[in-house]
Amino acid sequence: MTESDTLDSLDRRIVAALQIDARLPYGTLAQALGEVERTVARRVQRLLDSGALRFTAFVDELRTGVGQSVNLRVEVEPGSADRVAGALAQRRDTRWVAVVTGDADVSCELVADGRAALHRVVSEELPSIPGVRSTRSFPVLRHVKPTTAWHADLLTAPETAAVTSGAVAVSDQGGRTELQPTDHQLIELLVENARYSWVELAERLGVVPATVRRWTERLLSGGAVALRAEIESALLGYAVEAELWMETAPSEIEPVTAALAPHPAVRYCGVVVGKQAVNIHVVLPAMDDLFDFQVGVLGRLPGLVGCEATLVTRAHKRGFVVK
């Protein structure tokens, strides 16, 4: 399934619900949407079989201490953007890779296993990729709104409430979550398929289903892990995807991110090391909507000094999933 293919209204509403709760039982989902369970299950399976949809997990390395996330902006030789992006996508440590417009040709998020690994990647490995001219790196300080917190704005308020009611609540206390050896094994399985049944997970880990469910809910409630129904936003009716880098006064970083994170167009919001400390991804139906967002939303933010916007022309990897 490609971006030129379309999903009908029910397909999109099903995906929007699963973006809220990736483990939502099909019976509960069908009841929330007023549909038949068999119809819902068949449509989800069709999206999975086509490769358009995948259930995976996002690990917050800042809460778990398992690595350092860094945003990379890569300038490449003319004509080599897709080759470089493809090479980056094949790396196990890249979470997000896309070809973009603007001064940088490729945008990438990489999770390095500590400072020494980050130094090796930036100083040795990335420059050795054929076609790379230069790289700029911006370590991530905070995921204010990870992509797992966004869902397509396609459900009614009652539908959203019905879908959300059974989801594990995430603590707003923050703080570090210490991962146990069994947690790492469990996370690998959830990244592989966030909808593995409790029985399947228990068999793979050699424990009983109640234990693996308790482990999973602890990781979810602590914000260490979030589950995700991953799909190209274009298939949901969002033809425009843009990445925006914003400069603010240091005192305005938190107010700006607090204002932007709840916006339904904001798919991701984070704070990085650098002059343009606020980084967001937005998805919108059309270019006119991007204009309205820049003027009507960003233009009214106090403390915003400047903004650089780039369009995503092709995503090569999302959520560690190669496209």
Report whether 58 contacts 225 (CB < 8 A): yes
Q: Which residues, in sequence order, are CB contacts of 81 under 8 Å at separation 6+?
A: 99, 105, 106
Q: Is the pLDDT of residue 2 over 60?
A: no
Backbone angles phi, psi at 146, to 5 degrees: -70, 160
Range 281-287 average pLDDT: 97
Calpha distance 129→152 (Å, rounded): 36
The predicted structure's pLDDT at residue 63: 82
Q: Which residue has the higher pLDDT, 29 or 170?
A: 29
- In CATH, 178-221 is 1.10.10.10: yes
Domain coordinates in residue numbering, the chain: 61-143, 178-221, 233-313
What does pLDDT average to over the chain? Answer: 93
Q: Which residue has the higher pLDDT, 52 or 63?
A: 52
Q: Is the pLDDT of residue 6 over 80?
A: no
Considering the segment(s) 61-143 as one domain, its CATH architecture is: 2-Layer Sandwich (3.30)
pLDDT range class, residue 176, cuts 50, 70, 90: confident
Report whether 47 contacts 231 (CB < 8 A): yes
Same fold? 61-143, 233-313: yes
Predicted TM-score (pTM) above 0.85: yes
Fold of 233-313: Alpha-Beta Plaits (3.30.70)
Q: What is the pLDDT of residues 31-62, one digit of tens each?
A: 999 999 999 999 999 999 999 999 999 888 88
HEC-encoded secondary structure of the chain: CCCCCCCCHHHHHHHHHHHHCCCCCHHHHHHHHCCCHHHHHHHHHHHHHHCCCEEEEEECHHHHCCCEEEEEEEEECCCCHHHHHHHHHCCCCEEEEEEECCCCCEEEEEEECCHHHHHHHHHHHCCCCCCEEEEEEEEEEEEEECHHHCCCCCCCHHHHHHHHCCCCCCCCCCCCCCCCHHHHHHHHHHHHCCCCCHHHHHHHHCCCHHHHHHHHHHHHHCCCEEEEEECCHHHHCCCEEEEEEEEECHHHHHHHHHHHCCCCCEEEEEEECCCCCEEEEEEECCHHHHHHHHHHHHHHCCCEEEEEEEEEEEEEEECCEEC
Q: What is the pLDDT of residues 286-315, one digit of tens each?
A: 999 999 999 999 999 988 999 999 999 999
The predicted structure's pLDDT at residue 298: 96
Q: Is the pLDDT of residue 175 over 70?
A: no
